[in-house]
Structure formats: structure tokens, C-alpha cells
Amino acid sequence: MRIISWNVNGIRAAHKKGFLEWLDQESPDIMCVQETKASEDQLPDALKEIPGYTSYFISAEKKGYSGVAVFTKAKPEQVTSSFPAESFSKEGRVLAVDYGEFVLLNVYFPNGKSSAERLQYKMDFYDDFLDYADGIKNSGKHVVICGDVNTAHKEIDLARPKANEGTSGFLPIERAWIDKLLEHGYVDTLRLFNQEPDQYTYWDMITRARDRNVGWRIDYFFVNEGFVPRLKTGFILADVMGSDHCPIGIEID
């Protein structure tokens, strides 16, 4: 089974840039999308009724903001679009897709750059989300977490760590939360297969950073430790254009 995750920075914009053609060629079993920036009623039928896939969407109350979607060939047992904390549910950031043996959590984590208040919101979201994921794991199901986490974990995960030590996305408090996530028994799947530097998933468009590969790795797949034996590979599709992020993925037995 091949699962891909991509922050498309607007699914309607991605559609115009060939998203459906790329999806047809790549043909993952499950496609997770973040930052759709659209409600379901704003989408063309071509995005809602993709041949071979069942589609699920959740959007923010605020128009043109946040939102996630899942396109799946495999039929899930249940899809949950609500997050335990109502304040977080309003931003449409989590879809939980239950496949029986494992639950896939497609998440668009908040960005904390705009203000101290949004940074606190991000940290509160992080903590509530970890409790939520742990609750699923403790129920006896495996957990697969994917999406835009909006934080680079270690110095190897961004091109200019020293210059960004005081920037949200690489603050010690944010990086410490990823440490906590791993301490709770989750694994950064890419680093099981690829320990190399320069493995980035996001590049600033204004400065044309992608041309120089001055990037950040802020998109991840995490799985609980018990699920690791099912992993075949983890990868980044850095050559795929259409967003300021690129797709990432895993393959599982």
C-alpha cells in the first residue's frame, strides 16, 4: 500500500496545475492533502469524484483557509472529521480515517509565525493532538500520522538552522514537541530509510528558494513503533511541482 501526503497550498490552484493528471500517474492507494483552502461546495466535480477513489473533506469556518482532504481507494471503516477540542475543529485541520488495523491521521498543523498568540495556539494544538493520537494507540490500533507539521525537527532538517533559531518553525519549544512525540513511541519514517541532509519538503516561493534547495523538512509521516515492521520505505518526491511544498510518502505491507 502506497500512501502520499501533500500540502498543495490551495487544491483549486493545484487542480489548475495538473493535480489530477499527476494523481492518475502516481496512483497512490491513499492520497492525503493539506491546506485545501476550500469548502467542498467550492470544488469542481472532477476533484470530488475522482475515478477509483472515495473522497473526504473538512474545511475551516474561515473561507479560503486551512482544510484537509483524503482520497482513498481502500474503503475505510470510519472517517472522523471532528477534533476533541472545539476551538481546533473550527479550523478544519484533522481527518481521522480508520482502516480497522490502523487509523490514518491526516493533519495540517498550525503555523506559529504570525504572533505570540498563534504560537501558543500551535503549541496547544500539538499537545491536544498528541493526547488524541495516544488515545487511539492505547485503544489497540496502530496510528499513522501524516501532514504538514510546520516544524523542522533537527538542524539537518533545514538549510539554514543558525539563521532560523529564533523563527517559529524551528524554535526550541516546537522542536521539543517532536522529541516528545517520539518519546511517546512514534517514529519519523523518513529517517528510518534516509539519513542524508538536504531532504526538504518546503521552500519559500518569494525568494525562489527551491531553485537553490534552501528548504525545510516540515512535512512528515510518523507511525507508532509497533507498526514499523510493516514499513517498506519512506520517501520525498522533491521533483513534483505545483506548491511551495512537495509530496512525501510511505509504502507499507
DSSP string, the chain: -EEEEEE-S-HHHHHHTTHHHHHHHH--SEEEEE---S-GGGS-HHHHS-TT-EEEEE--SSTTS--EEEEESSPPSEEE---SSHHHHTT--EEEEE-SSEEEEEEEPPP--S-HHHHHHHHHHHHHHHHHHHHHHHTT-EEEEEEE-----SGGGBS-TGGGTTSTTS-HHHHHHHHHHHHTTEEESHHHH---S---SEE-TTTTHHHHT-EE--EEEEEEGGGGGGEEEEEE-TT--SSSB--EEEEE-
pLDDT over 90 (residue 86): no
Domains: count for the chain: 1
Does 253 participate in catalysis according to the annotation? Answer: no
Host domain of residue 218: 2-252
Cβ contacts of 229 within 8 Å, gap of 6 or more: none
**What's the rounded Cα separation, in Å, for the pair 223 and 143?**
6
Does residue 54 surpass a pLDDT of 80? yes
- Evaluate whether 228 touches 186 at the Cβ level (below 8 Å): no
Look at strands 215-216 and 219-224 and give their pairing: unpaired
pLDDT, tens only, 16-43: 999 999 999 999 999 999 999 999 999 9
What pLDDT is recorded for position 249? 98
- Report percent pLDDT > 90 for the chain: 96
pTM above 0.95, yes or no: yes
Say which CATH number the domain at 68 has.
Answer: 3.60.10.10
**What is the side-by-side order of every strand in the sheet holding 78-80?**
78-80, 94-98, 102-108, 142-148, 219-224, 186-188
- Per-residue confidence band for 88, with pLDDT thresholds at 50, 70 and 90: confident
What average pLDDT does this structure show over 161-168? Answer: 97
* pLDDT at position 89: 87
202 alpha carbon, distance to own chain's centre: 12
One-letter amino acid at 45 equals D
Q: Which of 45, 148, 179, 211 is catalytic?
A: 148
User: What is the average pLDDT across 39-56?
Assistant: 97
Quick check: 82 pLDDT over 90? no
Residues 6+ apart with CB under 8 A from 60: 66, 67, 90, 91, 92, 93
